Amino acid sequence: MDFEIDEITRQIGETTRDFALQHIKPYVMQWDETQEFPVDVFKKMGALGLMGVLVPEKYGGAGLGYHEYSTIIQEVAKVCGSVGLSLAAHNSLCTGHILAFGNEEQKQKYLPKLTAAEYIGAWGLTEPGTGSDAGNMKTTAVKDGNDWVLNGTKCWITHGISGNIAVVIARTGEPRAKNNATAFIVERGTPGFSGGKKENKLGMRASETAEMIFDNCRIPDANRMGNVGEGFKQSLKVLDGGRISIAALALGIAKGAYEAALKYSKEREQFDQPIANFQAISFKLADMATEIMAAELLISQAADKKNKGLPMTKEAAMAKYYASEVAVKVSNDAVQIFGGYGYTKDFPVEKFYRDSKLCTIGEGTSEIQKIVIAREVLNA
C-alpha cells in the first residue's frame, strides 16, 4: 500500500476544506442549537460533486475511490460532525445501496438525482425493537399482484423526514428465517409513507434523525432491489463500506478536536509560559497524535482493500471500532486541555465531544464491531 497522498486526493481535500470553512463553519453552532438540517448546504455540495463521490461519471457522480471519499468526510467532519454524518449516510447507505444492488433502470432513474442532491437519500434497517437483531424485524412487505405493501416503523434513520427517497429493508419471510428480508426503494410522497418522531439528540444535532413510518404503503415490484430474500445480505455488504465512512467521520472529529487543543495549548499561558510546555499537556497531545495516526492507517488499509475489490469486512470493522473510540478519547482530552473553556459553547471542543459518541454507536456499536472482528479472526 502506498502511503503517499496523491495530488488529486490532496486537491480534493483542499477544495472540501475551503468549502467547509466558507459554507459550514459560520453556521455550526446555529444549526446545532436549532437542530436545523441545512438542506441548502447539501445542494451546494451536490454541485461540487460531494454527494455522489463513489458514483461513476455516467450516472452524474464524481467516480472517485474510497481514499478520496475518506478525505472528503474527514475534512467536513473537522468542521462539523453533523454535516459529515449526513454526507456519509447519503453517499454510503442510500446511494451506495442503489449503486451496488440496483438494476440499470433503477440506477439511471435515481443516481443522477442523488449525486446532484436533487434528492436527499435515507436508508432504513433499524427498528424500535431490532437494532443489531435485524433478522427479527417487524416491518413487513407482502406481495399483492405486481405491488408490495409495506407496514411497520423504522427508527434512528438519518434523513427520515427530509429524505426524498429511502432504501428500506423489510421482512418478506418468517421471523429469523434465513434470507427473510428484501430491499425496496420508496419515494417520498408515496401514500402510506411518512416521517415520524424526530430525535432530540446529545450530539450530531444538525443531522436529522427520525422515524420512517409505513402504513399500507404500496410500491411497484420495479422498486425491489435484487431478488426476494437478499436484503439482509445486501445490507451487510453496504455496511462494510459504510463503516469506512463512519471511521473517516470519527477521524475527522478527532482531528478537529486535536488541532483546536494543540493551537489552544500554545496560546494559553499559565505561570508565564504556554501550557504546551507542561508535560501533563504535551503527553496528552502526544497520545492524541499517535492514536489519530493509527486510526488513519487502519482506515487507509480498509479503503485500499475496498478499492481493489478485496474482502475487507475485518479491516472495515477494525477501522470503525478503533477510530470511533479514538474520537471519543481525543475529544475528551481536548476538553480537558481547554479546561473550563472547553466546557462552554464558545469553543469548538465541547461540540466535538458531544458529536464523537455517536460514532461508537451508529452503523454497528463498538461491541458489534468486536463480534465481527472476532468472527473474522477465528474463521481465518
Calculate ∠ Cα 243-160-212, nearest 5°. Answer: 110
- pLDDT score recorded for residue 178: 86
Distance of CA 95 to the CA centre of its chain: 12
Closest CA to 63 of 102, 111, 122, 103: 111
Residue with cell 463500506: 241
CB-CB neighbours of 341 under 10 Å: 14
Q: Supply the pLDDT for residue 156.
A: 96
* Amino acid at site 159: H
Triad 198, 200, 205: Cα angle to 5°: 95
Q: Could you tell me if 123 and 225 are in contact, meaning their C-beta atoms sit under 8 angstroms apart?
A: no
Cβ-based neighbour number of residue 326 at 10 Å: 28
Amino acid in the structure at residue 300: S
The whole-model pTM stands at 0.96
* pLDDT score recorded for residue 21: 98
Q: What angle do CA 178, 179, 182 make, to 5 degrees?
A: 150
Q: What are phi and psi of 179, to 5 degrees?
A: 50, 55
Our answer to whether residue 57 is catalytic in this structure is: no
CA angle (194 as vertex; 190, 195 as ends), nearest 5: 145
Measure Cα distances from 244 to 33, 183, 307 in Å: 28, 22, 12
**199 DSSP 8-state letter:** P
Identity of residue 357: K
Number of H helices, E strands in the chain: 12, 10
β-strand pairing of 224-225 with 181-187:
antiparallel
**Cα separation of 35 and 198, whole Å?**
10
Taking 70 as the pLDDT cut, the residues of the chain under it are 1-3
- The angle subtended at Cα 82 by Cα 211 and Cα 324, nearest 5°, is 95
The closest of 277, 276, 249 to 262, measured between CA atoms, is 276
- For 103, the 3-state DSSP assignment is coil
Euclidean distance between CA atoms 204 and 373, whole angstroms: 27
- Burial label for 298, CB within 10 Å (0-12, 13-18, 19+), is buried
List 127, 211, 315, 363, catalytic entry: 363
Closest CA to 340 of 331, 329, 349: 349
Query: What burial class does residue 129 get, using C-beta atoms within 10 Å of its C-beta: 0-12 exposed, 13-18 middle, 19+ buried?
Result: exposed
- CB under 8 Å to 234, separation ≥6 — which residues? 97, 100, 101, 169, 183, 225, 226
Q: Can you give the pLDDT at residue 378?
A: 97
Q: Helices 279-307 and 66-77: crossing angle, nearest 10°?
A: 150
CB under 8 Å to 141, separation ≥6 — which residues? 148, 149, 150, 170, 171, 172, 182, 184
Cell 410500491 found at = 219
- Can you tell me which residue has the cell 474482502? 311
Q: CA-to-CA distance for 165 and 216, rounded, in angstroms?
A: 17
160, 89 contact by CB (below 8 A): no
- In angstroms, rounded to a whole number, what is the distance separating the alpha carbons of residues 138 and 168? 12
